[in-house]
Amino acid sequence: MAAARRTVVGLGVVAIGGLVLGLALSRSSDEQAPAPPARDEVAAPAPGAMSAPSAPSAPSTPSDPTRTPSPDPAADPAAAAPSGPTVENIAAARTEDSPEAFGVLLAGVESDDAVVVAEASLALVAREAVSALPTLIEQDVLARPWAAPSVIDALGRLGARATPEERSEVVDHLVALMHAEKRRGAVESQGNLLQIYEALGATGDPRAIPPLEQELVDPSVGTAPKVVVVQSLVALQATQSRGVLERLHAELAALTTDGGFEAQLRAELIAAIQDALVKLS
């Protein structure tokens, strides 16, 4: 009985000792752990800490005092505006009969815009503005292919209304252009030549007949362009060209080739010559 009591007492001592040791360890841990900051003491993020990093500044370029700054089209709208009259300017000038309107049309002939050149040329023809002939003759149409068809057409139409001296100058200029285009052989040359043939016929000047006859007998001139030449001779009422036309007709009729595109062109030329011979008889 006494032994049992000692055992119980020993266990109680051990339990008390363990409790004391646990409390001591717990207090030591509480003293070492840092106290959590109070709610009001939580530090706000530093200003700019969450913002995106600023882009690095561009390196400065030393200024050149001798360099002229380029104009800014946004700052100066006039610097970006096209020079010369517009299509709207030509349309307005076409309805006015004044020296200022005539000046706008002449400026339109010198435009870099093919539509402006065409509209200005047509307006001059509609006005029968023979005084525009010097400006038209001065145009370097070989260097301005976009302007060539309109300028050449206006030369022929206005030349028909000019004095004999002025008309003769127009014919000489067109013939010179014809020879220049034949030598040049550019992409646009063939189209310009057709326009020149028509313009020579439009002048109504008999001086244009011999150069056109030369085109008929020139083997380097194609079959299709010769159709336009024949039609221009008819426009000029070139009765003296009947002999050349008859010889060309005989030569074409003697050719025997198979069908094809060239044969169709030859048939069209023969038909044009036959029609011309009737009209010029």
What secondary structure does DSSP assign to 106-162, as a single string? Answer: HHHHT-S-HHHHHHHHHHHHHTT-GGGHHHHHH--TTT-TTTHHHHHHHHHHHHTTS
**Contact between 172 and 196 (Cβ < 8 Å):** no
Report which of 273, 157, 173 is spatially closest to residue 213, judged by C-alpha positions.
Answer: 273
Determine the Cα–Cα distance for residues 62 and 131; give it in Å rounded to an integer. Answer: 57
The torsion angles phi and psi of 279, rounded to 5 degrees, stand at -70, -30
Determine the Cα–Cα distance for residues 244 and 215; give it in Å rounded to an integer. Answer: 11
The CB density around residue 103, as the number of other CB atoms within 10 Å, is: 12
**pLDDT score recorded for residue 9:** 35
Secondary structure class of 84 (helix, strand, coil): coil
Q: Which tokens sit at 10? A: 């020993």
**Contact between 273 and 229 (Cβ < 8 Å):** no
Report which of 105, 192, 178 is spatially closest to residue 146, judged by C-alpha positions.
Answer: 192
**pLDDT score recorded for residue 256:** 73
**Contact between 80 and 73 (Cβ < 8 Å):** yes
What is the separation of C-alpha 249 from the centre of its chain, rounded to a whole number of angstroms?
44
> Distance between terminal CA atoms of the chain?
168
**Contact between 280 and 237 (Cβ < 8 Å):** yes
Report which of 202, 200, 198, 254 is spatially closest to residue 227, judged by C-alpha positions.
Answer: 198
**pLDDT score recorded for residue 82:** 53
Report which of 180, 181, 252 is spatially closest to residue 216, judged by C-alpha positions.
Answer: 252
**43-66 in b/e burial notation, b at 16+ Cβ within 10 A?**
eeeeeeeeeeeeeeeeeeeeeeee
pLDDT per residue as tens digits for the range 49-66:
444 444 444 444 444 444
**Parts of the chain with a pLDDT under 70:** 1-82, 257-258
What is the separation of C-alpha 88 from the centre of its chain, rounded to a whole number of angstroms?
19
What secondary structure does DSSP assign to 39-82, as a single string? Answer: GGGPPPPPTTSSSPPPPPPPPPPPP-TTPPPPP-TTT-HHHHSP
**pLDDT score recorded for residue 152:** 98
**pLDDT score recorded for residue 127:** 96
